[in-house]
Amino acid sequence: MWGIIATWRMAVEGIGKASEMLKAEGDAGDAIETAIKEVEDFPYYKSVGYGGLPNEEMEVELDAAYMDGDTLDIGAVGAIKDFANPISIARRLSRESVNNFLVGEGAEKFAHREGFERKNMLSDRAKIHYRNRVKEVQEQEIKPYSGHDTVGMVCLDTHGKMTAATSTSGLFMKKKGRVGDSPVSGSGFYVDSMVGGATATGLGEDVMKGCVSYEIVRLMKEGMHPQAACEKAVQMFDETLRRRRGKAGDMSLVAMNNKGEWGVATNIEGFSFAVATADQEPIVYLTKQVDGKCVHEVASQEWLDNYMKTRTAPLVEK
How far is the C-alpha of 153 from the C-alpha of 164, rounded, in Å? 6
Shortest spacing between CB 206 and ligand ASP, in angstroms: 9
Shortest spacing between CB 251 and ligand ASP, in angstroms: 9
Which residue in the set 55, 123, 150, 185 belongs to the binding site for ligand ASP (CB under 6 A)? 150
Shortest spacing between CB 217 and ligand ASP, in angstroms: 18
Q: Pick between residue 45 and residue 83 the one whose CB is nearest to ligand ASP.
A: 45
Task: Output the CA angle 222-197-103, nearest 5 degrees.
Answer: 130
Which residue in the set 149, 157, 215, 238 belongs to the binding site for ligand ASP (CB under 6 A)? 149
Q: Is 148 in the site for ligand ASP (CB under 6 A)?
A: yes
- Binding map of ligand ASP across residues 151-170, x = CB under 6 A, - = no contact: -----------------x-x
Q: CB under 6 A: which stretch of 29-37, 138-146, 199-207, 293-301 binds ligand ASP?
A: 199-207
Q: Is 199 in the site for ligand ASP (CB under 6 A)?
A: no
Residues 205-264 that bind ligand ASP (CB under 6 A): 207
The dihedral built from the CA positions of residue 106, 35, 126 and 7, taken in this order, carries a sign that is negative
H or E stretch including 18? helix 12-23
Q: Are 148 and 79 in contact (CB under 8 A)?
A: no
Q: Is 204 in the site for ligand ASP (CB under 6 A)?
A: yes
φ and ψ at residue 116, rounded to 5 degrees: -70, 150
Write the CB contacts of 69 (distance below 8 Å, at least 6 apart in sequence): 28, 161, 162, 163, 164, 191, 192, 193, 194, 197
Which residue in the set 180, 197, 226, 260 belongs to the binding site for ligand ASP (CB under 6 A)? 180
DSSP 181-201: STTSBTTTEEEETTTEEEEEE
How far is the C-alpha of 181 from the C-alpha of 185, rounded, in Å? 8
Q: Are 87 and 67 in contact (CB under 8 A)?
A: no
Q: CB under 6 A: which stretch of 71-79, 198-206, 218-226, 236-244 binds ligand ASP?
A: 198-206
Q: Pick between residue 22 and residue 203 the one whose CB is nearest to ligand ASP.
A: 203
Catalytic residue among 150, 163, 266, 277: 150
150 is annotated as an active-site residue: yes
The full length of the chain comes to: 318
Exposure class string for 167-189: b at 16+ Cβ within 10 A, else e: bbbbbbbbeeebbbbbbbbbbbb
How far is the C-alpha of 198 from the C-alpha of 223, rounded, in Å? 15
How far is the C-alpha of 257 from the C-alpha of 218, rounded, in Å? 11
Shortest spacing between CB 175 and ligand ASP, in angstroms: 12
Q: Pick between residue 55 and residue 168 the one whose CB is nearest to ligand ASP.
A: 168
Shortest spacing between CB 151 and ligand ASP, in angstroms: 8
Shortest spacing between CB 18 and ligand ASP, in angstroms: 20
Number of CB atoms found within 10 A of residue 13's CB:
15
Q: Which residues contact ligand ASP (rule: CB under 6 A)?
A: 148-150, 168, 170-171, 180-182, 201-204, 207
The residues assigned a catalytic role are 150
